[in-house]
Every structure is written in C-alpha cells, then in structure tokens.
Structure 1
C-alpha cells in the first residue's frame, strides 16, 4: 500500500507537481493526424488546456487555450496562411507563440513585440501528433520502430478513459491478471452468453521476472508447459517508460499509449502495426477509429480482452486509493514500477534527464518483443483480431488478407 501523501505524489500530473515535472520531460501524443486541421481543436494534456491547429501553409501549432489579450479561447479562432487568429479581436499568433498582428492597435505600435501566447513544440510521426510541454531545449522525439517502419500497415484506435493513467500502467506489469481476468472471467462471460466456455487465455504463469533496462521495464514469463527457451522468457516484451506498453506477435505489434489528460482522465491510444514476412505494400492513409466503451444498453463492454482491462482500470476509481490496497508477492512488477516513477522524479528534481530521454539524433529505436506466442501464427492473428481493440478497426478483413489468412464471417 501507499500512504495518501505518496499516492498523491504518484498520480498528480499538473504543472509544478513532482509527477507532472517528470512527465513533461517526454514527448506525448496529443492528437491523431486527422485532428490537426484548419479547424482549431481543443486538446487537454497533463492538466493543461490547449488548442491544436494546422495553418494554411501546413504548419501544425499547439497553443495554450486562452488568448493573452482578453483570455477568450483560441479555439474560437481562424487559421490563416500563417498562424491562428483569435476570433474575439483578431490578434494573430504563429506556432512559436509570437504575436504577428494586433488589429485595432496604432499602426506604429510595437506592443505586439512584447506579447506572446504560450506555445509548445509539436512533431508529426507515424500518423500521430506529438507535443513536448517541458523545459527547453527539448529532447529528441524517440523514433521507436513501430512509428517509423516503412514496410508496415497501421491503424490507430483511441478512447478517453475516466481514470488516472498510473493504474493503467500498473496493469502492464501485472501478468497474473491475464489468466484470471481474460481467462476465467472471460470464460465466465461466454458461459453466461450461452457460448462455449473456452477462455482466450488458459495457461498458468509458472515464473515471471522484471528488469529495468534503457527504455523502461522488460517483462518475462514462463507459462505452464513452456520453458525459458521460449520467446516469452528469452525475449520478453517492454513497458516503455513512462507511458507505453508494447504487445503482439506473428507480425502484429501494438503500442498501448496511456496519455494523461489530467489527474482523473486518460487518452488511451492503441497504435497497431501489421507487418507480414517480407513487408507490406505502401499504405495510402492511416485509419483512425474510436474504441467504444459501452454497448447499446449502456453497459461496459467486457466481451473482449481490452474491454475487460478497461473495466478493471476504471472500477478502481478515478484515482485508485492505494492506501487501502494489500500487495502480495505476485505484485512485484507493480512495486518496481512505482519505485521507478519515484526514482525518476528524483532525477528530474536534481536537474537530470530521466530514463529513456534521447538527446542524440537517431533513425530508429528497435525494441525487444516476442515473435512466437500462444501457438500458431494464424491462430494468434485470428484471436488478436477478435479479442483486442482491433475488432473495431475498419481494415481488419483487409489485414487478414494481407497475411494470407482465412477471413472469418465476423471480420
């Protein structure tokens, strides 16, 4: 358990908080590519209200929501050939926050030279728009492999979840939940629905291990009937500190990206890649879709793996009260992650760069991940397309055809 004070330190992400200062040393997805248009769009990240836009020259900007003139919202604005013009009085700002025009002020006034809107650096990569809210100079935007592969298809699912991002990240170092939440509970739901009581995951965890490495935490496990020679243990898969989990196999690989909107809400992004042996042909566009949270009756969707995870996360409360929990030996990964957050907060407080920060230009960062998992590749892909958030992807039938797999009726 954690004291209320330590829990507060772990979960508060706003400016000036220890966790907030740590998280501001990283680049964060703030939008999908289709959100950056000529229409200014409200976004919220790390407790800050922002406005995202693309001007007539194609430049993407990210400004604090309120205009420095009379504090009207800049989403009430017009994108010009250069910059964003406040709709209230016409003051014009570029992507650096510089004030370019002040209609209504004397023609010879230099007042605009003393005015700036709060702005943040943005970069586009792999169909996402990334933002950096920390002190300058900004580190390099990490070019993780899934974002930069030129021979893969992609799609992007997303949803806003009513809970703090840390309880989602803790799930990523909690392997034992898999055989119960997605195994026994998943099977129970199928029984209630009149289907065959066959769980997606049945194998018991015999051995698990966690180690801190240069990108975060590497997770390993041995399942019942397997050995340490199998990929699950020999290679494992990473939690990329402080906010991503990488999962997949058999040509499918996903970043689950947990983006703190504020203390009590998280923008969850499923960044999925499809890379068959020999690569995929060029993709004209990256599809973006919303992952639903409730069914037509208003009930939480729990009939697939990611839905079960989501309900487990949000039912802990907006911010889990860790002073009331009771951790056991099976929670070693959770304990390690909390320790890592605390250590890296201290690094930032001491003026250092936290874990995973890159200052050197680079082409790609290759991350470790299992290749063979849960039986045959075809079977794995069938289960993945049915039981993960990809079930809502508009291209899942095309993806199965890409791999040469049979396309079932549900696709």
Structure 2
C-alpha cells in the first residue's frame, strides 16, 4: 500500500505537481486530426484548459482557453487566414501566442507588442495532433514505428474515462488479470448470457518478468503449455514510458495511449495499425470513432476485452485509494512502474531529462513486438477485431479483406 501523500504524488498531474512536471516533459496527443478545424474546440490536458484550432493557412494552434484581454474563452472566436480572433473584442493571436491585432486601440499603439496569449507547440503525426506543455527547448516528437509506417492502414478509437491515468497504466503491467478478467470473468458473462464473445485467454501464467529498458518496461510471460522460446517470453511487448502500451501481433498492432485530462479524467486513445505481408495499399483520411462505455441500459459494457478493462479501471474510483490496497508478489510489475515514475520525477526535480526524452532528430523508433501470439495469425486477428475496441471501427470488415482472412463470424 502507499501513503496518501505518495498516492497524491503519483496521481496529481496539474502544473507544479511532481507528476505534472514529469509529464510536461513529453509530447501528448491532444486531438485526432479531424478535431483540428477552422472551428475552435475546447481541449483539456494535464489540468489545463486549452483551445485548438486550424487557421486559413492550415497552421494548427493551441492556446490557453482564456483571452489575455478580458478573459473571455477563445473558443468563442473565429479563425482567420492567420491566427485566431477572440469573439469578444476581436483581438487576434497567432499560433505562437503573439497578438497580431487589437481593434479599438490607437493605430500608433505598441500595446500589442507587450501582450501574449499562452501558446503551446503542436505537431501533427500519423493522424494525431500532439502538444508539448513543458519548458523550452522542447524535445523531439518521438516517431514511434506505428505512427510513421507508410505501408499500413490505420484507425483511431477514443473515449473519455472518468478515472486517473495511473490506474490505467498499472493495468499494463498486470498480466495476471488477463486469465481472470478476460478469461474466467469473460466465460462467466457468456454463461449468464447464453452465448456471446469467446473468452480470450484462459491459460495460466507460469512465469512473468519485467525489465526496465530504453523505452520503458518490457513485459514477458510464459503461459501454460508454452516455453521461453515463444514470442511472449523471447520478445515480449513494451509499456512505452510514460503513457503507452503496445499490444498486438501478426500485422495488427495497437498503441493504447493514456492521456491525462486532469487528476480524475483520462482521454484513452486506441491507435490501430494494419500491415499485411508486403504492406497495405494507400489509405485515405484515417477513420476516427468514439468507443462507447455504456450499453442501452446505462450499464458499463463488459462483453469484450477493452470493456472489461475499462470497467476495472473505473470501478477503482476516480483516483484509486492505494492506502487501502494490499499488493502481493503477482504485483511486481505494478511496483516496478511506480518505482520508475518516482525515479523519473526525481530526475526532473534535479534538472535532468527523464526516460524516453529524444533530443536528436530521427526517422523512426522501432519497438519490440511479438509476432506469433495466442495461436495462428488469422485466429488472433479474428479474436482481436471481435474482442477489442476495433469491434466499433468503421473499417472492421475491410480489415479482414485487407489480410485475405476468412469471412468473420459477425458477417
């Protein structure tokens, strides 16, 4: 268990908090590509209220929500060819926060030279808009492989979850929950419903291991009936520090990105890639979609893997009270992750760059990933498009055609 003070240190993400200062050293997805339009939209990241827009020149800007003039919200504004104009009194700001125009002020006035809106750097990559809220100079935006492959299809699912990001990240280093939450509990739901999705994994974990490496934590496991020669152990799959889990295999790979909106809310992004042998043909605009949390009765959806995870995360409370938990040896991954966050907070407090800070330009960062997982490639894709958030993707049926897989069960 943790003391209440240590729990706050790990879960508070606002400006000036130890975790908040650590997380501000990284680039974060703040929107999908189709959210950045000529219509200003409200976004919230790391406890800060922001406004995202794309002006007539195609430049994407991210400003603090309130105008520095009379504090009206800048989402009450209009995009111009260059910049965003406040709808209240017409002051206009560019993506760097410079005040370009102040209607009503004398023409000879230099007042605008002394006014700046709070602005944050943004970059577009792989269908996402990334923002950096930390001190200058900003590090390089990491070009992780799934974001930059030029021969893959993609789709992006997302949902706003009413809980702190840490309990979601801890799930990423908790392999034992798979055989129980997605295995036994999934089977129990099937028994109650008289049918439904097939349980995903019911095999017992014989051996698990975690190691800190250059990109975060590498998770390995041996399931009953398997050996250390299998990819689950030999290759493993990574938690990318501080905010992503990579899952998948056989040409289908996903980043689960956990974006702290504030202490009690997380924007969860499922970034899927589909890459058959020989590559995929060109894709148009990347489809995006919201992943629903509730069924028609207002109950949390639990009949698929991601829904079961979401239910477990949310039911811990908006911020899990770790002063009342009791960890065992099966929680070694959780303990290691908390230790890693604590160590990296200390690095930031000492004025050092934390883990996964990239200062040099680069083309691509390749991450380890299993190839053969849970049976054959076809069986895995059939299972994962049924049991993960992909079940809600607008291109789900096309995915099986892309790989040349047999007609899925839902057709």
Q: TM-score, normalised by structure 1?
A: 0.99
Between the aligned partners of 1:350 and 1:409, the Cα distance in structure 2 is: 55
CA deviations on 1:312-370 (whole Å, 9 max, x unpaired) are 00000000000000000000000000000000000000000000000000000000000
Partner of 1:365: 365
Between the aligned partners of 1:268 and 1:410, the Cα distance in structure 2 is: 26
1:10-409 matches, within 5 Å, as: 10-195=10-195, 199-409=199-409
Between the aligned partners of 2:200 and 2:137, the Cα distance in structure 1 is: 46
Partner of 1:8: 8
Q: Give yes or no for contact 1:145–1:364 (8 Å, CA) kept in 2.
A: yes
Q: Give yes or no for contact 1:188–1:197 (8 Å, CA) kept in 2.
A: no
CA RMSD, Structure 1 to Structure 2 (Å): 0.8
Gaps of 5+ in 2: none
Q: Give yes or no for contact 2:196–2:303 (8 Å, CA) kept in 1.
A: no
Between the aligned partners of 1:279 and 1:95, the Cα distance in structure 2 is: 37
Between the aligned partners of 1:407 and 1:348, the Cα distance in structure 2 is: 51
**SS of 2:268 mapped into structure 1:** strand
Between the aligned partners of 2:160 and 2:196, the Cα distance in structure 1 is: 32
Between the aligned partners of 2:196 and 2:23, the Cα distance in structure 1 is: 44
**Offset of residue 408 of structure 1:** 2.3
Q: Give yes or no for contact 1:67–1:117 (8 Å, CA) kept in 2.
A: yes
**Offset of residue 214 of structure 1:** 0.5
Q: Give yes or no for contact 1:187–1:200 (8 Å, CA) kept in 2.
A: no
**Offset of residue 198 of structure 1:** 5.1
**SS of 2:37 mapped into structure 1:** coil
Q: Give yes or no for contact 2:197–2:304 (8 Å, CA) kept in 1.
A: no
Between the aligned partners of 2:10 and 2:272, the Cα distance in structure 1 is: 29
Q: Give yes or no for contact 1:52–1:60 (8 Å, CA) kept in 2.
A: yes
CA deviations on 1:62-84 (whole Å, 9 max, x unpaired) are 00000000000000001000000
Cα 1:362–1:329 change in 2 (3 A) is: same
Task: Report the number of matched residues.
Answer: 411
Q: Give yes or no for contact 1:191–1:197 (8 Å, CA) kept in 2.
A: no
Between the aligned partners of 1:409 and 1:232, the Cα distance in structure 2 is: 27
**Offset of residue 410 of structure 1:** 1.6
Gaps of 5+ in 1: none
**Offset of residue 196 of structure 1:** 7.3
Q: Give yes or no for contact 1:251–1:276 (8 Å, CA) kept in 2.
A: yes
CA deviations on 1:79-101 (whole Å, 9 max, x unpaired) are 00000000000000000000000
Between the aligned partners of 1:196 and 1:148, the Cα distance in structure 2 is: 36
Between the aligned partners of 1:146 and 1:138, the Cα distance in structure 2 is: 22
**Offset of residue 48 of structure 1:** 0.1
Between the aligned partners of 1:261 and 1:406, the Cα distance in structure 2 is: 40
Between the aligned partners of 1:286 and 1:199, the Cα distance in structure 2 is: 30
Between the aligned partners of 1:293 and 1:284, the Cα distance in structure 2 is: 28
Q: TM-score, normalised by structure 2?
A: 0.99
Q: Give yes or no for contact 2:231–2:371 (8 Å, CA) kept in 1.
A: yes
CA deviations on 1:293-325 (whole Å, 9 max, x unpaired) are 000111100000000000000000000000000
Between the aligned partners of 1:354 and 1:214, the Cα distance in structure 2 is: 11
